[in-house]
Chain A
Amino acid sequence: MEPVVKVENLSKKFGEFIATNAISFEVNKGEIFGFLGANGAGKTTAMRMLSGLLTPSSGQAFVAGFDVATQAELVKKNIGYMSQKFSLYEDLTIQENIEFYGGIYGLSRQEIKDRSKGIVDKFQLASVKNKLVKTIPLGWKQKLAFALALIHKPKVVFLDEPTGGVDPITRRQFWDLIYEAANDGVTIFITTHYMDEAEYCDRVSIMVDGLIKALGTPSELKKSFDVDSMDAVFQLLARGTANK
C-alpha cells in the first residue's frame, strides 16, 4: 500500500536548538497513527512541518503525495487540522462556522449545504445550530471542530491533543468518531498526553529529545519493553533520558 505520509530524515533547527532531529517514518491510508512525547520533545514541531506551517531545515516529507517544503499549498488542500484550542469562532453560530470553513476550503454552495446538513444530523445539532459557539458545551465544540477538520474530505487529518480538558466519557465518544473516519479511509495523525488513548492507536511513535525512540503497534512496543501498558513504555523511555 502506498503510504499517505512519508517522512525521511526530517529536521528542524531553531538557531542552535534542534527541535526535530532527522526523524523518518511512514503512515498508511486509513491508519490511526499516535504521536507521543513529553512537552518539548518535538512532536508539535514535527506536526507543524507536516501540516505546512513550518518549513523543514533539512530532510523530506510527503503528505498525500505532495512535498511539504515545496508544495505546501497542495498539502493544505488535502489535510485537516484540529488543535486543542478548537479554533472555532466563538462569536459565530455553529451554522456560520460550518459555512465559513466550508467556503475557505473552496466547497461549492451546494456542497456546503449538503455537508452542513450531514454534520448537523450526525451530531444532532439541529436544535443548536443557530446558537453562538461560545454558548455550547466543550464536548460539542470538540466534535464540531473535528467535523470541520473533515469538511473538505481530506486524506489526512492532524489532531493536536484534541481531547485536552474533556471528561473521559466525551473522550471515549470522540474516539468513536476517529474510528469512523479511519474506516472511511481518512488517515489520522494524532498527538496526545493520555496513555490510555495511545492504546487505541494502530501504531504509535514516541519522541524523546527530537528523536523517535520507539515505533510500532502498542502490543509490539509493550512486548519489546516487557511491560503491560503504554504508560509504562512511556515512563521507561522518558526516565531513560532523564538519567543521561
Chain B
Amino acid sequence: MRNIFILVRKEFLQIFRNRQLLPFMTVLPVIQVILLTFAANYEIKNLRLGIWDLDQSTSAQQLIHKFTGAKFFQEKALISNQKKADELLMKDEVDLVLVIPKDFEKAIHSSNNPAIQFQINALNNAKAGIVQNYASAITQDFLNEKRGNSTLLASPKIIPITNYWYNPTLNYKTIMLPGIVAEVMTLIIILICALNVVREREIGTIEQLNVTPLKKHEFILGKLIPFWVIGHFIFWAGIALGKIFFNIPMVGSLGLLELFLAIFLFVPLGIGLFISTAVETQQQALFTSFFFIILFILMCGLFTPVETMPDWAQYINQLNPLKYFVEVNRLILLKGSGLKEIYPFIAKMIIYGIGINLLAIWRFKKTN
C-alpha cells in the first residue's frame, strides 16, 4: 500500500510539473468537448432549390410556391436547361432541382397522371433520402389540395403518430455531449498510459525499479491510479460544463454513472498498458494507440448506427469499450435506467477490465 502511494505521488509530481503536457490532458479536452458539441447536428434545413419550370402554368406556379413556402427549402436558382442544372449540381450550389415538364397543368385537369422529376444531389446519401421525403410529401400535399380530399376520405386511412421519447425536441447536443466526453477521455487515457510506460522504459527508470523490491502489481497500480483520477476529472468537468452550456438531462442516478465510470476506466488504462508492452518506441506506441482510438471512436454508435454494421464488424465491436459507454450514457442520463438495467454493462466492463489488465501484466513480465 505504501509503495503504491509513493508511486502515485511521484506520478502526480511529474504530471503537474509538465507544463506543456498538462493542458493537453486537462483543460483542452474539456474545451474541445464543448466546442465540438456545438457541431453535433445532422439537422437538414435550408435546402437549396433549383427550379426548372417547362410548363409556366398556374399549377406549376402553385407547386413552386408550395415548395418555397415550406420551411426546408429556399429558392436558389431558376434553371432553363439541363446544362445549367448539371452545372449547379456540380458546383454544389443546389441540393434539389425540381423539374416541371410541359403539359403538367393539362395532366392535372385530365385523367392523365401528371409527372414531375426531382434531380437530387445524392453525394450524401442520408441527406438525399431526406430531401426526397420532404419533396414527395410537399408534392402529395399539393395534389390533395388541388383535387380535393374526397377520394382520400372515402378509403380508411391509418395515421402514424410519432412520439419521440426521452428527447422529444430531438436535441442532438444532449446526446452528443456525454458521448464526446467519453470519447475524448478514452483517447487521452489510452494515449498517456501507453506513452508513459514506454517512456519510462526508454529512459531506463523501469529497469531501475525492477531491481528494487517493488512488486509488479504495485508498479502497475501506481501507474493506473493517477490516470484513473485524470479520467475522472475530464469526464465530470465535461459533464458539468455540458449541464451549464447545454442543460443536458440527467434523469438517472449520477452515482450509478460514477460507478460505471470507475470500473470502465480500467479498460482504456489496460489497453494503454497492453500497447506499451507490445511496442518498442513512443512513436510505435502512438500509432498503435491511434489505430485503436480511431476504431473505437468511429464505431461506438455515436455518429453512425451500430445496428447497420455487418455482423463481423458488430462482433469485433463487442471489444469496443466506447460502444458500452455511449449506451450507458443514454440509458442513465436520458432514460433513467437503474442498476437493474445497467448491471450487464458493469459486469462486462469488470470482465473486460480484468482480462485486458491481466494480459498486460502477463506481457509485462515477459518483456522484462
A residues neighboring B (CB under 8 Å): 51-53, 73, 76-77, 79, 81, 83, 85, 87-92, 96, 100-101, 103-106, 132, 158
State which residues 201-221 of B face A: CB under 8 Å: 203-205, 207-214
Contact B213 A87 (CB under 8 A): no
Q: A53-B368, A83-B207 are in contact. List 12 more A-B contacts (CB 8 A).
A: A76-B211, A81-B211, A85-B203, A85-B204, A87-B203, A87-B204, A87-B207, A88-B205, A91-B18, A104-B7, A104-B209, A106-B2
Contact B207 A76 (CB under 8 A): no
Nearest B residue to A132 by beta-carbon distance?
B17
Please classify the interface of chain B as helix (H, G, I), strand (E, B), loop, or mixed, using the class held by over half of its residues.
Answer: helix
Contact A104 B212 (CB under 8 A): yes
Contact A53 B3 (CB under 8 A): no
Measured between beta carbons, the chain A residues less than 8 angstroms from B13 are 92, 96
Nearest A residue to B219 by beta-carbon distance?
A104
Contact A100 B211 (CB under 8 A): no
- Shortest Cβ distance from residue B175 to the other chain A in the assembled complex, whole angstroms: 40
* Interface contact tally, CB-CB below 8 A: 60
Contact A92 B10 (CB under 8 A): yes
Measured between beta carbons, the chain B residues less than 8 angstroms from A105 are 212-213
Measured between beta carbons, the chain A residues less than 8 angstroms from B368 are 53
Given A87-B204, A91-B18: A53 and B211 within 8 A (CB)?
Answer: yes
Answer yes or no: B158 CB below 8 A from chain A CBs: no
Please measure, in the bound complex, the distance between the C-alpha atom of A194 and the C-alpha atom of B10, giving whole angstroms. 35
Contact B211 A89 (CB under 8 A): no
Contact A51 B10 (CB under 8 A): no
Measured between beta carbons, the chain B residues less than 8 angstroms from A92 are 10, 13-14, 17
Please measure, in the bound complex, the distance between the C-alpha atom of A101 and the C-alpha atom of B9, giving whole angstroms. 12
Most chain-A Cβ atoms within 10 A of its Cβ — which of B3, B7, B13, B18? B13
Contact B211 A103 (CB under 8 A): no
Given A91-B17, A92-B13: A103 and B204 within 8 A (CB)?
Answer: no
Contact A76 B10 (CB under 8 A): no
